[in-house]
């Protein structure tokens, strides 16, 4: 298994980071959630993801918006969804980064998400049996999410 590096190298004194490695979530959902979370404070981001899981707030789908229905409450946008599974996984990564910040002696309540990114991981090969002895490939792409939170001055 190859070593996965972070895309950026932040200052270690003011930042904390975490990575969710090869999670079984939708890559497209992870990309849209990451776009929605970038620039938010950590408590605000956690509240946002909890609202997404409770289907109170929709995540705006800006890149992968084809055949996505309209949702109420999206300011300046129309297409959105409630990706519960991906929101739950990314919330765990945020909580991990928050714990890392506390361990370093930083205050996670005052930190901002400066970098969050979803990357495609390995593809797990699978097949779906069909009629007459045939088979169709049914592959599963894993997703890696990296997160950097930084103290605001």
Mean pLDDT of 121-142: 96
Mean pLDDT of 104-117: 95
Mean pLDDT of 100-117: 95
Mean pLDDT of 70-87: 94
Cβ contacts of 42 within 8 Å, gap of 6 or more:
94, 97, 98, 108, 109, 111, 112, 113, 149
What integer pLDDT is reported at residue 153 of this predicted model?
74
For residue 30, the Cα-to-chain-centroid distance in whole angstroms is 4
Mean pLDDT of 49-60: 96
- What is the pairing mode between strands 127-129 and 140-151? unpaired
pLDDT at 1 over 70: no
pLDDT at 64 over 90: yes
| Domains of the chain with CATH codes | 16-151 (3.90.470.10)
Task: Give residue-wise pLDDT tens across range 89-103.
Answer: 999 999 999 999 999
Cβ atoms 46, 88 nearer than 8 A: no
Residue 97's nearest CA partner among 151, 56, 51 is 151
């Amino acid at each position: 298994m190859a070593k996965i590096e972070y895309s950026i190298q932040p200052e270690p004194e003011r930042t904390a980071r975490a990575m969710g490695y090869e999670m079984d979530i939708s890559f497209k959902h992870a990309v849209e959630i990451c776009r929605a979370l970038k620039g938010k404070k950590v408590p605000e981001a956690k509240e946002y993801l909890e609202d997404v899981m409770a289907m109170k707030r929709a995540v705006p789908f800006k890149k992968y918006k084809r055949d996505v229905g309209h949702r109420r409450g999206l300011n300046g946008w129309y297409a959105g969804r409630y990706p519960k599974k991906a929101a739950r996984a990314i919330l765990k990564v945020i909580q991990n980064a928050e714990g890392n910040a506390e361990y370093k002696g930083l205050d996670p309540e005052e930190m901002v998400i400066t970098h969050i990114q979803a990357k495609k991981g390995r593809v797990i090969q699978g097949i779906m049996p069909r009629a007459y002895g045939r088979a169709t490939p049914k592959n599963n792409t894993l997703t890696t999410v990296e997160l950097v939170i930084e103290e605001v001055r």
